[in-house]
Structure 1
Amino acid sequence: MTALVIAEHDNSAIKGATLNTVTAALACAGEVHVLVAGHNAAAAAQAAAQIAGVAKVIHADSAELADALAENVAAQVLALAANYSHLLFAATAAGKNVAPRVAAKLDVAQVSEITKVISADTFERPIYAGNAIATVQSLDATKVLTVRSTGFDAAVATGGSAAVETVAAAAGAGQSRFLGREVTKNDRPELTAAKIVVSGGRALGSKEQFDAVMEPLADKLGAALGASRAAVDAGYAPNDLQVGQTGKIVAPQLYVAVGISGAIQHLAGMKDSKVIVAINK
């Protein structure tokens, strides 16, 4: 059996969630390939070739793949799918956008947000906001999986020597076109990859108090800044800082929760943190 990991990248470097997905793929199959679909993405393909455990990198280069439109990336994956027993995506916004399209076209059942590989066809995934763990067996010939990065250690990013194979890019779906992207610029670490995360809740009382307490704390600790859903809904913090079931899933070495009640919705997003410090209001 051979697994294909669909890499997330910016056409120059591989994103961290891909490394966790490679680890999951190695537990599923004896051989792991990585697809780098992009435009002028040779540097990203070379970076993928350095990942420990990767046997081959497939590089598809086309202007239609430059901005990772889900329809076009899905078409590229489908062009290769017949060669693989497992197709793995990181359970990120990008992965969740592409994987269901691939599963639907293949007429198979997607297994979402796996946190453990029991065997090649059996996986664990959290349900009920993480309060229960379901064991799921897939009988489909091709397994389409999204991987929760907090459930798997990151593969070593260097030391590998995989061959890079260039393939013809699949024709774009022609159903959408890229118009623009608004990117939030942040000097702090990325929330889902940070080793330290500090999050504020509604008990801080106002956006001004949230900024006055949380931003200096994050800067002092070199931490990523997060927020509870209640704080986001109250306008204290932007939506991209939300930690929880409907926000981002984090598992840092240290998680500091300031004025957060500990609702199930929030716990689902940070309960795998190694050390949790709770500061009440």
Structure 2
Amino acid sequence: MHISVSRGLGPGQLRASRAAGPEQWPLALPADPYTASLKSEIESDAHEFEAESWSLCVEPAYAKRHKREAVKRQDVLYELMQTEAHHVRTLKIMLKVYARALQEELQFRPKAVGRLFLCADDLLEMHGHFLSRLKERRHESLEEGSDRNYIIQKIGDLLVQQFSGENGERMKEKYGVFCSGHNEAVSHYKLLLQQNKKFQNLIKKIGNFSIVRRLGVQECILLVTQRITKYPVLVERIIQNTEGTVAASPSYPVVLRGWSLSPCPLF
């Protein structure tokens, strides 16, 4: 497993920042270019989906112009995009905060980091791409002259591209590896906490950073494991709230067939 930290500080800067004390560690410095860009990157993914639902995201008058069924469908599509943004954020925290810190602060080799975050880099690549496509579809659906009001008419093509064919098989393969190694990863993490004081101190320090919102390594692993079980439910709800021939399209059953059984042995 290779995790790039090329955007981090140089060895001299790292040593100087460590000498300044725990609060001066690079990831804790808002003024540090890497930290600023990382925080911006993580927060920007979820910025468009801060509202609790589509109904609260668009202007009230715009929402009232649409039938109840249309509103319910947009709410489900919004939930899909919102939870995908949260998932990408979790993966970025795993890789760009925890994994980077382990490599730069404790000199963990990529293989050692990979024992904690199996295939996480592959998952981030796949879900980052999916989130980008979802956001593009949202932008394409904006009402002319508005940066807030939109109705997404078509979503099945994106679901099929993500969850069937080569992409679908790759996702099942990577999640199979991640989920089957869940217990071992958590056990290894707990062992490191018990036996490695530097590891323990580093994890505690990172847990206080606002960028992670107290999302620990164990919580990240569990959230990623659980994510794969949510898609069949979301797709089923999209079908239930899609009218006519669109709902009867082969697109949705293809997705459901591919993901009705989670590759995660925990559920």
Fold similarity call, TM over 0.5: no
Name the TM tier (shorter chain): under 0.3
Query: Which structure would you say has the larger Rg?
Result: 2
Q: If each structure's helix is expressed as a fraction of its own residues, which one has the higher value?
A: 2
Determine which structure has greater relative contact order: mean sequence separation of CA pairs < 8 Å that are 6+ residues apart, divided by chain length: 2
Output the TM-score relative to the length of structure 1.
0.25
Flag the structure with higher strand content: 1
